[in-house]
Copies of this chain bind each other. A is one copy, B any other.
Amino acid sequence: MSTYPTSLGTSSADEIRLLGQDLTADLMGEVGFGELAFWLVAMRRPTPSEVRVFEAVLVALADHGFTPTAIAARLTYLSAPDSLQGALAAGLLGGGSRFLGVTEDCGAFLDAVVTDLGDDLPTTDEQWDAVALDAVRRTKEAGRFVPGLGHPVHKQGDPRTPVLVRIAEEEGLRGPHLRLFEAVGRVHEQVLGKRLPLNGAGVCGAALADLGLPVELLRGFALLARAAGLLGQLAEERRRPIGMDVYLSVDRHAEYVDPQS
């Protein structure tokens, strides 16, 4: 009979262990929740600087108001108020390519470029600009979008972007992914012919990648952040519901159209 290896939670009759620590002696009351979430994925305890940047990202991504996912969660809660987990899950299921995937796509895009550079990282903005220009050009030639550019509302600049760069700088964590992302912001107009803002989802991906978190799982942190936001949405739906009004506003304006038309 084989065993199932894990470095996460295990327990015996008188002890609960997590990440190789004694849960009650070493972790409860000693580490923050964001700190633990980082640790659970990265398999190392983050420094206080890393925690500050990481939690700034989670705070930035937690809630964006009446997004499709927030509305879906509220409508699901309206239909099935007996199952809070179902409403939360329904909201998270919208965390796919379009509205929540930018964080991961941007982190992965930047990381591929940075990884290609190997140990020979640029040191000046001019050098980063050259790297960014090449990356944006190749992306455009391949017929793909550069992730992290553009925002439907914040057309003149996403206010989260400079703030997260500043926080990372304060903590000594403005690394190659953020440097490259900033360079993309400076040079993309030369290639794409228009100036787009560096969006908040993108800068969060860059900052998470600079923290050394696995780029294939960056979407997971956006989902964790969103779980907190969705809880807030569902708590508000209990206090001041809108789900029934949304439903009726759609249902009452339904109009039958002949499928052949």
Contacts and interface: CB of A to CB of B under 8 A. Distances in A.
Interface string A43-82: 1100000001011101110111111110111011011111
A187 interface: no
A25 B251 CA distance: 23
The bracket for how many chain A residues form the interface is 35 or more
Given A32-B32, A33-B59, A240-B5, A76 B72 contact: yes
Within the oligomer, what is the number of copies of this chain? 4
B66 A90 contact: no
A100 interface: yes
Contacts of A24: 60, 159-160, 163
A27 to B, nearest CB: 5
Contacts of A14: 154, 156-157, 159
Interface in A222-261: 223-225, 227-229, 231-236, 238, 240, 242-243, 245-247, 249-251, 253-260
B86 A245 contact: no
B97 A81 contact: yes
A247 B71 contact: yes
A99 B79 contact: yes
Contacts of A225: 33
Nearest to A83: B83
A17 interface: yes
A15 B249 CA distance: 20
B93 A89 contact: yes
Contacts of A19: 259
A229 to B, nearest CB: 7
Contacts of A63: 8-9, 18, 40
A83 to B, nearest CB: 5
Contacts of A98: 78-81
Contacts of A79: 67-69, 72, 94-96, 98-100
Given A1-B1, A87-B93, A224-B231, 9 more contacts: A5-B242, A9-B65, A13-B155, A15-B159, A33-B33, A33-B225, A69-B75, A80-B93, A82-B96
